[in-house]
Structure 1
Amino acid sequence: MSNRKAAGLQGRSPEYSPAYLNNAATTFPKPPGVIQAVADCLGSLPQENGRSNYETGETVQDQCRKNLGLLLGVSDHRRIFFTSGATEAANLVFRGLALQGRHIVITASEHNSVLRPLYNLYGEKHITMVPCGRDGLVSPGAVQAALRHDTACVVVNHCSNVTGAVQDIAAIGAIARRGGALFAVDAAQSAGAMPVQGDSCSADILIFTGHKALFGPAGTGGFFVREGVPLVPVKFGGTGTEPGNMAPSGPGAFEPGTPNIPGIAGLNAGASFILDLGLDEVRRLTGERFMRLREGLLNIKGLSLYGPPGDSGGIISFTVNGLSPSDVGYILQEGYNIAVRTGYHCAPYIMDHIGAPRGTIRASVSALTPEDHVDRLVAAVREIAYADN
């Protein structure tokens, strides 16, 4: 064991409350209204649209669609469909687009929830990956250069879950539209953290998850698909409508089976929390905590930081000279009771581009992160980095 690893563990105890800096994985704490909404839903008569004669007014699904439409920047909220999360949404979307034999453009910052469906469905020879810079940003010009006459779809991660880099989806969307390609945006990390503006960026498809910046429970998420996009259902079952039709084609065809009403109720409460507080205020609170974290880490010698200094969705990645990310994560957990994430963060291709081939330590905050959690992480990393001095 290295001196620094031993120093991080000696005399430390995880008995005090944990400090949580892994909000890019799942936000915590949740707004109290989210917990209450799930409990209230479970304690009330089921309201499953089309599956009971007992239905009262607007459903929580409809309320949630409206709120999500505001946060995703799409006017036709009826085209938002619920899934168990971004992974299921990406699989349903990319399988339903039927892009066999067509060219697809992606970026090096994509998450495995996008990469694996595309590579397994369509094969590497049909995919062009656009690189990103050391700051994690993708040049719209590089996307333009990657287009071909047969490009069918351009897929872009809006906000990197590794570096926090926010791509210019308005510029990239315009390029895709001029090239006659569909434009799909992975907003899993950005939805709820920043304006997505799906309509103005020409997004044909938006994929989102509920348990990150939207403050919803795990097991919630979905996708938006613009009217006219040739997406076919690939998951089948009961819809509550069209009982004799074995090939349902209406919007309900994208939500077969009994919906996760308690989860959607919690997601609706999370979206309502953001809208009531105001997205600008959410960004201000997150930004304050991010800058406190970034400035604290910048003052520690022996660290390398990755990603742009500005708007980041509350995410920062770093490494400690002489220690693997996994060692640092172990010390933080066992010696300081601090939760971060280490490794490749399910985004393997970005690491070589940003100069972190062994992965990174990722710390991430939300608007509700206690400031003392940030200070505890900075103090712990300082001790670990300076242990040999």
Structure 2
Amino acid sequence: MIYLDNAATSLLKPPEVAKAMTTAMRTMASPGRGGHEPAAKAADTAFRCREELSEFFRAPGPEHVAFTMNATHAVNIAIATLVKPGDRVVISGYEHNAVTRPLHMLGAETDAAVSPLFEPEAAIEAFRKRLPGAKCCVCTHVSNVFGFILPVEEIAAMCREYGVSFVLDASQSAGVLNVDMEALGAEFVAMPGHKGLLGPQGTGVLLCRDRARPIMAGGTGSESRNQAMPETLPDALEAGTHNIPGIAGLLAGLRYVKRRGLESIDAHERKLKGLMCRKLAGISGLEVFSSPTAQSGVLSVRSGKLGSEEIAAALGARGVAVRAGLHCAPLAHQSAGTLEGGTVRFSFSPFNNAAEIDRAAAELVRILKMSS
């Protein structure tokens, strides 16, 4: 099978990820729940992972790195901390439901800075008009549908200018593009551990500047006499037993990314995307959403002949795994004019190769020709 659904989750991972997880399951217990060696090994692994994540993403320190179940969990904490019912929150026109649904649930006034696809300057102007007087801004770094890289450095700078708290959703950029929390001045940066960082499912990270509001409570192994959750980070956000095998796998994935280098990973994925675009160029009735600039290794297409779900099913039957539909991001499709029917998404990883792209493109061409 050719796996091209990496924007959902990475499937192929460095071998050391599974090895680290197996070692953790065999030798590590629960950090902070005992003074014995298995607990100490778990605590050391968790701390080393926090330390390296903090350094890599330029967070204030290891204690400002909270482990979560996924990026959605992390975004929910950030929004619950900063937003109250009725607050006006500015978002991009390319947000995932992981952002829009928590805002809706809290009763926030969502103000979308809608702008044309692959036009960073237009996005900047859309945010400039909406940021004054807003309580908060939540922005994705990269569209999970189209690979559009939002101008988050400029948006964050405007947030600082207008005194608006900034939250970055780095779901599609962490482990692929540079994410610098200090330079952005972000209050929070949310990310999954299982996508670009190549860790296992069930891992996520929230980088916190200051205090954060817990959205669940329970044991932390600290301040046990107090019925209130600890106020100090990261304990305030980490009730219950940690996913130590997941954290060990995340640490191994992060170290692979650091060894290979962000520039190398990004260049590889862009190269594969460019190859796919060239293979699909000029096909009658196929719209390819791409741009020479402001894009990462995510590509969406749609056909005037077949629905996106039909195409994805046909590709799947031929051994090519992609995703079709709205990709949990109806706002992005609305912004790009693809809400009716959605798109077929190809998303690439450090472990895909040119031969796989050749075959995937050839299979898509065959499917479209058969429908003529």
- Return the TM-score normalized by structure 1: 0.89
How far the C-alpha of 1:294 sits from its partner, in A, is 2.0
Measure the CA separation in 2 of the matches of 1:71 and 1:136: 29
How far the C-alpha of 1:136 sits from its partner, in A, is 6.9
Quote the residue 1:145 is aligned against. 129
Q: How does 1:184-203 map to 2 (within 5 A)?
A: 184-203=167-186
Quote the residue 2:344 is aligned against. 361
Say if 1:165 and 1:312, in contact at 8 Å, map to a contact too.
yes
Quote the residue 2:227 is aligned against. 246
2:92 pairs with 1:107: yes
Say if 1:321 and 1:385, in contact at 8 Å, map to a contact too.
no
How far the C-alpha of 1:341 sits from its partner, in A, is 0.2
Q: How does 1:59-208 map to 2 (within 5 A)?
A: 59-123=44-108, 126-135=109-118, 137=120, 139-149=123-133, 151-208=134-191
Measure the CA separation in 1 of the matches of 2:294 and 2:157: 22
What's the secondary structure of 2:49's corresponding residue? helix
| Residue 305 of structure 2, aligned match among 298, 322, 338 | 322
Relative distance call for 1:199 and 1:371 in structure 2 (3 A) is same
How far the C-alpha of 1:291 sits from its partner, in A, is 1.7
Quote the residue 1:273 is aligned against. 256
What's the secondary structure of 2:344's corresponding residue? strand
How far the C-alpha of 1:61 sits from its partner, in A, is 1.4
Say if 1:69 and 1:76, in contact at 8 Å, map to a contact too.
yes
Measure the CA separation in 1 of the matches of 2:57 and 2:277: 28
Bigger mean CA offset, 127-136 vs 51-60:
51-60
Measure the CA separation in 2 of the matches of 1:45 and 1:91: 29
Task: Between the two structures, name the one with larger relative contact order (CA 8 Å, sep ≥ 6).
Answer: 1
Unaligned runs of 5+ in 2: none
How far the C-alpha of 1:19 sits from its partner, in A, is 1.1
Relative distance call for 1:266 and 1:21 in structure 2 (3 A) is same
Relative distance call for 1:133 and 1:44 in structure 2 (3 A) is same
- Give the partner amino acid of 2:99: V
Unaligned runs of 5+ in 1: 1-17
Quote the residue 2:326 is aligned against. 344
Say if 2:5 and 2:346, in contact at 8 Å, map to a contact too.
yes
Measure the CA separation in 2 of the matches of 1:318 and 1:309: 16
Relative distance call for 1:289 and 1:342 in structure 2 (3 A) is same
Show CA shifts across 1:279-301 (max 9, x none): 22222222222222222122433
Relative distance call for 1:330 and 1:45 in structure 2 (3 A) is closer
Say if 1:21 and 1:373, in contact at 8 Å, map to a contact too.
no
Quote the residue 1:11 is aligned against. none
Say if 1:186 and 1:206, in contact at 8 Å, map to a contact too.
yes
Measure the CA separation in 1 of the matches of 2:41 and 2:167: 35
Relative distance call for 1:104 and 1:311 in structure 2 (3 A) is closer
Quote the residue 2:19 is aligned against. 36
- Give the partner amino acid of 1:117: P
2:359 pairs with 1:376: yes
| Residue 198 of structure 2, aligned match among 215, 218, 228 | 215
- Give the partner amino acid of 2:73: E
Measure the CA separation in 1 of the matches of 2:337 and 2:83: 35
**Identity within the alignment, %:** 32
Say if 1:128 and 1:146, in contact at 8 Å, map to a contact too.
yes
- Give the partner amino acid of 2:35: N
Quote the residue 1:237 is aligned against. 218
What's the secondary structure of 2:302's corresponding residue? strand
Say if 1:135 and 1:306, in contact at 8 Å, map to a contact too.
no
Kindly indicate which of the two structures has a greater share of residues assigned to helix. 2
Bigger mean CA offset, 358-367 vs 193-202:
193-202
- Give the partner amino acid of 2:34: S
Bigger mean CA offset, 26-35 vs 92-101:
92-101
Measure the CA separation in 1 of the matches of 2:126 and 2:58: 26
Say if 2:28 and 2:244, in contact at 8 Å, map to a contact too.
no
What's the secondary structure of 2:313's corresponding residue? helix
Say if 2:176 and 2:196, in contact at 8 Å, map to a contact too.
yes
Say if 2:325 and 2:342, in contact at 8 Å, map to a contact too.
yes
Show CA shifts across 1:75-118 (max 9, x none): 42321100100111122221233423322111121000111001
Say if 1:159 and 1:165, in contact at 8 Å, map to a contact too.
yes
How far the C-alpha of 1:361 sits from its partner, in A, is 0.1
Quote the residue 2:9 is aligned against. 26
Measure the CA separation in 1 of the matches of 2:107 and 2:214: 18
Measure the CA separation in 1 of the matches of 2:323 and 2:114: 24
- Give the partner amino acid of 1:284: A
Relative distance call for 1:56 and 1:215 in structure 2 (3 A) is closer
